[in-house]
């Protein structure tokens, strides 16, 4: 102990072997990477490689054909609209679940996840039955001159259905974590209830709300099962982009299908980056871990 520091009688030994405290790093990471590559990355790369067989002009012709462009407009337009509707009503629903007590609350809280768990084909035929002319909801809309099933509006309804839990489940935990004292502080400083919501609550919830919006949008753009039953699938009117891929495939136009898939994939990757950024922002704003 009294042989103090610095000048040591021992020559400095070379670096000792690194022993990891917890085992299995190489094995698990290696397996993860291999499995990921085999099942996801290499197959996805196939899409880009297949597309590369096309010249740029051919690629452009496929992905900008009028029928395909009409499908983008429908898919992206309705997805944005559905995500916006979900942002508004999803926030209200999350608010109600966190802030109010009412009978059946637990049941409703549990059922919010239904669109995650319900097979999309089931949702598709159920929504179609509801909104058809003689359906429970359709029969009331018909006299008003509103047709939902087999029209672009039907696409919107299906996309609202599948996107709802994304917004609710992203916003809800943030609302739950909100400290009531924040609003008490705002009130004690003279803020009206509306002001407190606008200036205190909304800024805290906003990143999460935007994340939920982006998640709902991303899911909606790629959605297939719940939409095709209710959409009617009329060329130029109510065909969604994923359906265009299927149509091309059924005609054995693999390159055509792949070209459209490339466009969608690039959009998906971009959205994924945006969502990651948003989640990091949420985490920063609220001090929560992702």
Partner 1 sequence: MAGATTLRLNTAGSFGQTRFEARAATRETPLVKWLSLGTALTFFAVFLLMPLIAVFVEALRKGWETYLTALIDPDALSALRLTLLAAAIALPLNLVFGVCAAWAIAKFEFRGKHFLITLIDLPFSVSPVIAGLVYVLLFGAQGWFGPWLAEHDVKIIFAVPGIVLATVFVTFPFIARELIPLMQAQGKEEEEAAVVLGASGLQTFWYVTLPNVKWGLLYGVILTNARAMGEFGAVSVVSGHIRGETNTLPLHVEILYNEYQFAAAFAVASLLALLALVTLGIKTWIEHRAAHAHQDLHEGQS
Partner 2 sequence: MSIQVRNIHKRFGSFVALDDVSLDFPTGELVALLGPSGCGKTTLLRVIAGLESADAGQVLLDGEDASGTHVRDRQVGFVFQHYALFRHMSVFDNVAFGLRMKPRAQRPSEKQIAEKVHALLDLVQLDWLADRFPAQLSGGQRQRIALARALAVEPRVLLLDEPFGALDAKVRKELRRWLRKLHDELHVTSIFVTHDQEEALEVADRVVLMNQGAVEQIGTPEEVYRRPATPFVYGFLGAVNLFHGRVDGEGLRVGDARLPRQAGSFGEGAEVLAFARPHELDIVVDADAGASEGIAARVSRVLAFGITARVELDGVNGAHGQHFEVEITRERVERLGLAEGQAVRLLPSHLSLFESRQAATTAGAAR
**Contact partner at residue 52 from partner 2, partner 1, none, CB < 5 to 8 Å by partner kind:** none
Q: Which is nearer to partner 1, 5 or 79 (CB)?
A: 79
**Contact partner at residue 4 from partner 1, partner 2, none, CB < 5 to 8 Å by partner kind:** partner 2
Task: Identify the CA nearest to 271 among candidates 183, 209, 211.
Answer: 211
The CA distance from 133 to 116, in Å, is 27
Q: Which is nearer to partner 2, 15 or 144 (CB)?
A: 15
Told to check if 27 binds partner 2 by CB under 8 A, we report no
The CA distance from 182 to 187, in Å, is 9
The CA distance from 129 to 141, in Å, is 14
The CA distance from 199 to 205, in Å, is 11
In the stretch 1-40, what mask flags binding to partner 1 with x, by CB under 8 A? -------------------xxxxxx-xxx-xxx-xx--xx
The distance from CA 4 to its chain's CA centroid, rounded to whole angstroms, is 61
Task: Identify the CA nearest to 132 among candidates 111, 117, 118, 153.
Answer: 153
Helix (H, G, I), strand (E, B) or coil at 22: coil
Told to check if 26 binds partner 2 by CB under 8 A, we report no
Min. distance of Cβ 284 from partner 2 in angstroms?
22
Told to check if 17 binds partner 2 by CB under 8 A, we report yes
Q: Which is nearer to partner 2, 13 or 104 (CB)?
A: 13
Told to check if 80 binds partner 1 by CB under 8 A, we report no
Sorted by sequence, the CB contacts under 8 Å of residue 235 that are 6+ apart come out as: 67, 70
Residue of 15, 110, 117, 144 that binds partner 2 (CB under 8 A): 15
Q: E-strand spans in the chain?
A: none
The CA distance from 86 to 216, in Å, is 8
Q: Which is nearer to partner 2, 18 or 106 (CB)?
A: 18
Other CB atoms within 10 A of residue 268 CB:
15
Q: Which is nearer to partner 2, 3 or 101 (CB)?
A: 3
Candidate ranges 11-19, 51-59, 105-113, 222-230; the one touching partner 2 (CB under 8 A):
11-19
Considering only residues 68 through 107, tell me which ones interact with partner 2, judged by CB under 8 A.
Answer: none
Phi/psi for 126 (5° steps) reads: -65, -45
Considering only residues 162 through 221, tell me which ones interact with partner 1, judged by CB under 8 A.
Answer: 164-166, 169-170, 172-173, 176, 180, 183-184, 186-188, 193, 196, 211-212, 215, 218-219, 221
The answer to whether residues 252 and 246 touch, using CB atoms and an 8 Å cutoff, is no
Told to check if 247 binds partner 1 by CB under 8 A, we report no
Told to check if 144 binds partner 1 by CB under 8 A, we report no
Instruction: List contacts with partner 2 (CB under 8 A).
Output: 1-6, 8, 10, 12-19, 21
């Amino acid at each position: 102990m009294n042989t103090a520091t610095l000048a040591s009688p021992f020559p400095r030994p070379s670096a000792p072997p690194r022993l990891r405290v917890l085992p299995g790093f190489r094995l698990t990471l290696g397996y993860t990477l291999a499995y990921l590559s085999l099942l996801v990355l290499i197959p996805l790369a196939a899409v880009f490689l297949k597309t590369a067989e096309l010249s740029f002009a051919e690629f452009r012709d496929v992905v900008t054909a009028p029928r395909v462009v009409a499908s983008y407009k429908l898919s992206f337009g309705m997805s944005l609209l559905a995500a916006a509707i979900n942002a508004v009503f999803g926030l209200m629903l999350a608010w109600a679940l966190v802030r109010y007590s009412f009978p059946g609350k637990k049941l409703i809280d549990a059922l919010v996840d239904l669109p995650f768990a319900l097979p999309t084909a089931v949702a598709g035929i159920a929504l179609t039955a509801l909104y058809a002319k003689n359906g429970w909801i359709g029969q009331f809309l018909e006299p008003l001159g509103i047709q939902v099933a087999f029209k672009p509006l039907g696409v919107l309804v299906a996309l609202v259905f599948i996107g709802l839990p994304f917004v609710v489940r992203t916003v809800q935990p943030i609302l739950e974590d909100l400290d009531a004292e924040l609003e008490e502080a705002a009130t004690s400083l003279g803020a009206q209830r509306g002001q407190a919501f606008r200036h205190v609550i909304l800024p805290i919830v906003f990143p999460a709300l935007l994340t939920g919006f982006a998640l709902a949008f991303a899911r909606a753009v790629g959605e297939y099962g719940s939409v095709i039953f209710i959409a009617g699938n009329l060329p130029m009117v109510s065909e969604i982009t994923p359906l265009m891929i299927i149509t091309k495939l059924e005609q054995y136009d693999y390159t055509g299908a792949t070209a459209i898939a490339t466009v969608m994939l690039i959009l998906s990757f971009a959205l994924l980056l945006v969502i990651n950024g948003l989640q990091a922002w949420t985490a920063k704003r609220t001090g929560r871990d992702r």
